[in-house]
Amino acid sequence: MSTNDIAVVGAGPVGALTALGLAQRGHRVLLLESEQELPTAPRAIVYYWHVLEGLDALGVLDDIDAAGIRNTAFRTRVLATGDEAVVSLAPLEAVTPRPWNIHLGQHDVVRIALDHLSRLPNATLRLGAPVTAVRQDGHEVVLDVGGESPGEVRASWVVGADGARSAVRTSLGIGFDGTTWKDRFVATDIRYPFDAAGLGNANMMLDSENGCVIARIDDSTWRWTWGESAELAADTVMDRLPARLAALGFPDVPYDVVTATPYRMHQRSADRMREGRVLLAGDAAHATNPTGGIGLTSGMYDVFALLDPLSDAVHGSDDAPLDAWAAERLRIFDEKASPMATASKRRVYDDTDRDALVGFVRGSAAAVDDAEAVRRLSAMTVLRSGFPRHHTSFVS
Ligand X SMILES: Cc1cc2nc3c(=O)[nH]c(=O)nc-3n(C[C@H](O)[C@H](O)[C@H](O)COP(=O)(O)OP(=O)(O)OC[C@H]3O[C@@H](n4cnc5c(N)ncnc54)[C@H](O)[C@@H]3O)c2cc1C
Only one of the segments 54-62, 112-120, 192-200, 293-301 lies at the binding site for ligand X (rule: CB under 6 A); that segment is 293-301
- Minimum separation from the CB atom of position 166 to ligand X (A): 7
Query: How far is residue 23's CA from residue 121's CA, in Å, rounded to a whole number?
Result: 9
| Beta-bridge partner residues of 57 | none
Cα(79)–Cα(357) distance, integer angstroms:
10
- Fill in the per-residue mask, 31 to 70: x = in contact with ligand X (CB under 6 A), - = not in contact: -xxxx---x---xxxx------------------------
Q: With binding defined as CB under 6 A, does residue 211 bind ligand X?
A: no
Nearest distance from C-beta of residue 150 to ligand X, angstroms: 12
Instruction: Single out the residue of 4, 7, 8, 12 in contact with ligand X (rule: CB under 6 A).
Output: 12
The 235-274 contact track toward ligand X, x by CB under 6 A, reads ----------------------------x-----------
Part in contact with ligand X (CB under 6 A); list of ranges 9-17, 226-234, 342-350, 354-362: 9-17
Who's near 3: CB < 8 A, 6+ residues apart? 28, 30, 153, 154, 155
* Subset of residues 130 to 189 that bind ligand X, contact rule: CB under 6 A: 130-131, 161-163, 167, 185, 187
Q: Looking at 282, 304, 383, 396, which residue binds ligand X (CB under 6 A)?
A: 282
Sign of CA dihedral 27, 33, 37, 42: negative
d(CA 333, CA 321): 18
Least gap, CB of 95 to ligand X (angstroms): 20
Number of residues that bind ligand X (CB under 6 A): 37
Chosen residue from 15, 21, 54, 105 binding ligand X by CB under 6 A:
15
Nearer to ligand X, 57 or 265 (CB): 265
Strand partners for 157? 6
Cα–Cα distances in Å, from 324 out to 193, 319, 330, 338, 352?
Answer: 47, 9, 10, 20, 41
- The verdict on 11 binding ligand X (CB under 6 A) reads yes
Residues that bind ligand X (CB under 6 A): 9-15, 32-35, 39, 43-46, 106, 130-131, 161-163, 167, 185, 187, 225, 263, 282-284, 290, 293-297, 299
